[in-house]
């Protein structure tokens, strides 16, 4: 049996694999806000990024290690390829944390060895212990992953794992990198590792998996039954391609069905102790925060955190729930932090009530940031009778997105209607204070706004998604706009809300352009690429 921490460790990779979701790039302040909320949620390990990937990623990991990696906080981890350069950068980035980890990886499947790494199995067996030992010379806590484990030959993988443990790895991660495994196969893989790797009891077995076939959570639960004690997952299941195993689904499955899982961890079935250290009542607000800051909307029918997850539509269900909620509910919504019992916020509310509610939602604001958010709150409260949590989230996420913005939207004016050519005038200010306005016509007001913004910014892009939805109910509801732009095959999301959907569209477009521009600035200039316009 593997070294057993006595419960299931939750390793959150929202800021690393989650950020690999097309269009989901986050700025430094956004990453920090998410890391702080993950710490409140009670995750055991935060994988904060891939420090070697870019100076921005390095800074983010270092800042999270400094601000969130306190003695009673989570382990702060960075990802590194099995190279000295990656590992050294990772060690430097996580250094400020009280508890730090280097996570290094090398593929073990023949497909990856032959076509991607162009290395033999013998070379892999030489590199892995060398790089794990190098990582151990820099940091005490080292995790090693056999990338594409789900398609690797088990006997070869056993040898690699044994070598990694002998070199000092204390966590061995088994990733189903392409989401290929089925639950029985994945459980069998973990059982095989426990049986055939002679020194496995010196390491925690971890799993990481993707949702290409929608099986990641099911695979992980099967892995827990066979000895996996660390689950690598993301909030809302975001991540590369179809995403990762979702944290909220795993945690709630282990919570709701603990009498089923308890015996696999050597406990009495009736043991009421939780199987993870997660504060489940923080789940919903963490989901909202990640959705707002990444611009990745949560599908309404998503388990646990979707808008419909606790809604009962049909008469027979409503009748049952009215008689006894247990007829159709397996989770009390309050367990994940949904509550109807809230102070209502409106135009007579003061700074303390707004700050307190924002804190409950996972946003800790002070000084100028609080003043700005409060001013926007009052502005909105003059237009809208009751300010809901979703309104507040929209206010703060707009503000956070603008903190490091290259372009700031100063004004939008449109004229449109029957027999009128839709026209928009837009004013932008750059980070260095230059200001310019442009007018443009379009097929509708939003098209005219986007045309004007493109004229001002002059960075080629293709609009691939535009969606508007109402944040709350009623005629005075905020409209939430999500925009996705594509350039050179990469996606950039922008997200904004306002009671005026044209203003929300303009702001969402500017947010997406800001992401695109930041990404261009962190890449070396392509010979045919023109420098960024300065307005
Ligand atoms: C399964 C996962 O999610 S892995 C994590 C994915 N995350 C990322 O890729 C982070 C973002 N990546 C980047 O910024 C860049 O790819 C960098 C900085 C890491 C590397 O950039 P470059 O040096 O330009 O290399 P490039 O991306 O073109 O190719 C990757 C190289 O790493 C090698 N490589 C891939 N995995 C590993 C590994 N685990 N250990 C060592 N080398 C590896 C590849 O074989 C390739 O080498 P080659 O150039 O000799 O053929
Ligand atoms: C680096 C590893 C853990 C990974 O992200 C994967 O295999 O999907």
Instruction: Give the pLDDT score at 197.
Output: 98
Burial class (CB in 10 A: 0-12, 13-18, 19+), 227: buried
Please give the angle made by the CA atoms of 180, 186 and 187, to the nearest 5 degrees.
Answer: 165
Find residue 204's DSSP bridge partners: 171
Q: Do residues 186 and 173 make contact, with C-beta atoms less than 8 angstroms apart?
A: no
Q: Where in the chain is the domain with CATH 3.20.20.70?
A: 9-294
DSSP codes of every residue in 150-188:
GGS-HHHHHHHHHHHHHTT-SEEEEEETTS---HHHHHH
514 annotated to a ligand binding site:
no
Q: Do residues 149 and 179 make contact, with C-beta atoms less than 8 angstroms apart?
A: no
- Per DSSP, the three-state class of 72 is coil
d(CA 2, CA 205): 7
Which atom number of ligand 1 is nearest to the Cα of residue 240? 3
Does the Cβ of 147 fall within 6 Å of ligand 2?
yes
Instruction: Give the pLDDT score at 344.
Output: 67
CATH class of segment(s) 9-294: alpha beta
- Taken in order 122, 123, 128, 130, the sign of the CA dihedral is positive
Instruction: Give the pLDDT score at 130.
Output: 98
Does the Cβ of 19 fall within 6 Å of ligand 1?
no
Task: Give every strand in the sheet of 490-498, ordered side by side.
Answer: 462-470, 479-487, 490-498
Instruction: Give the pLDDT score at 492.
Output: 84
Task: Give every strand in the sheet of 407-415, ordered side by side.
Answer: 407-415, 423-430, 435-441
Instruction: For 493, list phi and psi in degrees, rounded to 5.
Output: -100, 150
DSSP secondary structure letter of residue 300: T
Q: Where in the chain is the domain with CATH 3.30.160.270?
A: 405-521
Does the Cβ of 103 fall within 6 Å of ligand 1?
no
Residue ranges of E strands in 119-266: 141-147, 171-176, 204-209, 230-233
The model carries a pTM of 0.82
Which ligand has an atom closest to residue 148 CA?
Answer: 2
pLDDT averaged over 10-residue windows placed end to end, the chain, 535 residues: 81 97 86 96 98 96 97 97 98 98 98 98 98 98 98 98 98 98 98 98 98 98 98 98 98 98 97 97 94 88 92 82 90 86 73 82 82 88 79 75 77 92 93 89 94 93 87 70 87 83 92 84 50 54
Does the Cβ of 147 fall within 6 Å of ligand 1?
yes
Q: Whose CA is nearest to atom 1 of ligand 1?
A: 177
Does the Cβ of 363 fall within 6 Å of ligand 1?
no
147 C-alpha to center of ligand 2: Å? Answer: 6
Q: Do residues 506 and 483 make contact, with C-beta atoms less than 8 angstroms apart?
A: no
CATH class of segment(s) 405-521: alpha beta
Q: Which of 243, 229, 259, 383 is nearest to 299 (CA)?
A: 243
Instruction: Give the pLDDT score at 239.
Output: 97
Q: How far out from the chain centre does Cα 492 lie? A: 15
Ligand 2 pocket test, candidate residues 17, 102, 174, most atoms within 8 A of CB:
17
Instruction: For 339, list phi and psi in degrees, rounded to 5.
Output: -145, 145
Q: How far out from the chain centre does Cα 432 lie? A: 31
Which ligand has an atom closest to residue 179 CA?
Answer: 2
d(CA 231, CA 313): 34
Q: Whose CA is nearest to atom 49 of ligand 1?
A: 117
Question: Is ipTM > 0.85 here?
Answer: yes
Which atom number of ligand 2 is nearest to the Cα of residue 149? 7
């Amino acid at each position: 049996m593997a070294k057993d921490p006595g419960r299931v460790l939750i390793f959150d990779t929202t800021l690393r694999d989650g950020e690999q979701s097309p269009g989901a790039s986050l700025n430094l302040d956004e990453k920090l806000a998410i890391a702080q909320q993950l710490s409140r949620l009670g995750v055991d390990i935060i994988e904060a990024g891939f420090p070697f990937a870019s100076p921005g990623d390095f800074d983010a990991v270092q800042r999270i290690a400094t601000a969130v990696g306190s003695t009673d906080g989570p382990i702060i981890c960075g990802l590194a390829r099995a190279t000295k350069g990656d590992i050294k950068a990772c060690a430097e980035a996580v250094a400020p944390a009280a508890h730090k980890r280097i996570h290094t990886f090398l593929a073990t499947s023949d497909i990856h060895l032959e076509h991607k790494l162009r290395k033999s199995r013998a070379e892999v067996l030489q590199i892995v212990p060398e790089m794990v030992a190098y990582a151990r010379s820099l940091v005490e806590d080292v995790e090693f992953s056999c990338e594409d484990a789900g398609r690797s030959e088990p006997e070869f993988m056993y040898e690699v794992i044994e070598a990694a443990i002998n070199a000092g790895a204390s966590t061995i991660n088994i990733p189903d990198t392409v989401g290929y495994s089925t639950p029985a196969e994945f459980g069998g893989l973990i059982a095989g590792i426990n049986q055939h790797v002679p020194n496995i009891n010196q390491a925690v077995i971890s799993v990481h998996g993707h949702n290409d076939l929608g099986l990641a959570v099911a695979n992980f639960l099967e892995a827990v039954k066979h000895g996996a004690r660390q689950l690598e997952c993301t909030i809302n299941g975001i991540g590369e391609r179809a995403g990762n195993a979702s944290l909220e689904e795993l945690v709630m499955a282990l919570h709701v069905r603990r009498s089923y899982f308890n015996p696999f961890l050597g406990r009495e079935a009736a043991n009421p102790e939780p199987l993870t250290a997660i504060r489940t009542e923080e789940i919903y607000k963490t989901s909202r925060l990640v959705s707002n800051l990444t611009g990745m909307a949560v599908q309404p029918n998503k388990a646990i955190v979707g808008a419909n997850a606790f809604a009962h539509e049909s008469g027979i269900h409503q009748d049952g729930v009215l008689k006894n909620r247990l007829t159709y509910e397996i989770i009390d919504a309050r367990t994940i932090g949904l509550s109807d019992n809230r102070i209502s916020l409106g135009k007579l509310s003061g700074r303390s009530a707004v700050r307190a509610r924002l804190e409950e939602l996972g946003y800790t604001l002070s000084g100028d940031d609080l003043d700005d958010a409060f001013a926007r709150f009052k502005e909105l409260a003059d237009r809208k009778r009751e300010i809901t949590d979703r309104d507040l989230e929209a206010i703060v996420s707009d503000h956070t997105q603008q903190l490091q913005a290259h372009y700031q939207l100063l004004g939008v004016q449109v004229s449109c209607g029957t027999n009128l050519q839709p026209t928009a005038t837009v004013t932008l200010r750059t980070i260095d204070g230059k200001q310019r306005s442009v007018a443009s016509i379009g097929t509708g007001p939003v098209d005219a706004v986007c045309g004007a913004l493109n004229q001002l910014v002059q960075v080629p892009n293709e609009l691939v998604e535009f969606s508007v939805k109402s944040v709350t109910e009623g005629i005075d509801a905020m409209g939430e706009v999500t925009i996705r732009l594509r350039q050179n095959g990469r996606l950039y999301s922008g997200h904004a809300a306002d009671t005026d959907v044209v203003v929300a569209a303009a702001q969402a477009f500017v947010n997406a352009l800001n992401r695109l521009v930041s990404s261009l600035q962190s890449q070396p200039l392509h010979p045919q690429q023109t420098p960024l316009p300065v307005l």
